[in-house]
Amino acid sequence: MKVKLLAYTPDADRICAAAGNSCYSERPASEIMEDIDPERTLSRIVGMGHHSVIEHAVFTFSIEGVSRALTHQLVRHRIASFSQQSQRYVSLGEPTFVVPPTVSGNPEAEDLFRETMDAIWSAYDRLEEMGIPAEDARYLLPNGCTTNITVTMNARELLHFFSMRCCSRAQWEIREVADEMLRQCREVSPVIFRDAGPSCVRGPCPEGAKSCGKPRRP
């Protein structure tokens, strides 16, 4: 698994703070930018519930070598743009798949897992040799098959994404990806993402009876 922040809004904290402050000022954001305190301003405005101001900040990631099981979850976050490696136009000649930790930690289970994957890829290759197009041969491929995806979200949607996917109850693979995305976001926008993470970082857990009872700060 690899996560790389490809592009982001430069000086996002300051831009979002200026945009928010301009709603309450006679001065435009271009002038406010020069002397604003992003931390104090954003804390006040976002604390009042005005989260729309951080939508001005946009972040684009390349997420590589993850499973289709992960991307099926990822694309459920609707306020985002996704471009995923196609199994229709990209022929997957070599077996590439993600092995869950519970499987890799059990030698017997891992042997069975890898034998099954090898059999799937062998059948996939045979279908292509028979002239079956990749778009039809791909019906054999499992959720564990690796893929690459490019993702763009604004900061507001990222905060929601992190609240859901950095949680201890999130599926392990997407939680690892979310943790790494958050780490990279904090490097370039420390104010916006200072308190980002699962809901328990900021208050009570919304999981109710299903709560793990262990607040987690990524």
Per-residue pLDDT of the chain (218 residues; tens, 9 = 90+): 999 999 999 999 999 999 999 988 999 999 999 899 999 999 888 878 889 999 999 999 999 999 999 999 999 999 999 999 999 998 887 889 999 999 999 999 999 999 999 999 999 999 999 999 999 999 999 999 999 999 999 999 999 999 999 999 999 999 999 999 999 999 999 999 999 999 887 778 887 777 777 777 78
**Active-site hit among 138, 156, 165, 175:** 165
Q: What is the DSSP letter of 10?
A: T
Q: CB under 8 Å to 152, separation ≥6 — which residues?
A: 58, 59, 60, 61, 80, 81
| Rounded (5°) CA angle 149-153-155 | 145
Q: Identify the pLDDT of residue 43.
A: 87
Spell out the domains of the chain, with CATH numbers in brackets: 2-82+147-210 (3.30.1360.170), 92-140 (no CATH)
Spell out a b/e string for 102-111, using b for 16 or more CB atoms within 10 Å of the CB, else e. Answer: ebeeeeeeee
Phi–psi pair at 34, nearest 5 degrees = -70, -35
Q: Which residue has the tokens 């039809």?
A: 136
Residue 165 among the catalytic residues: yes
What pLDDT shows up at residue 119? 96
pLDDT score of 209: 77
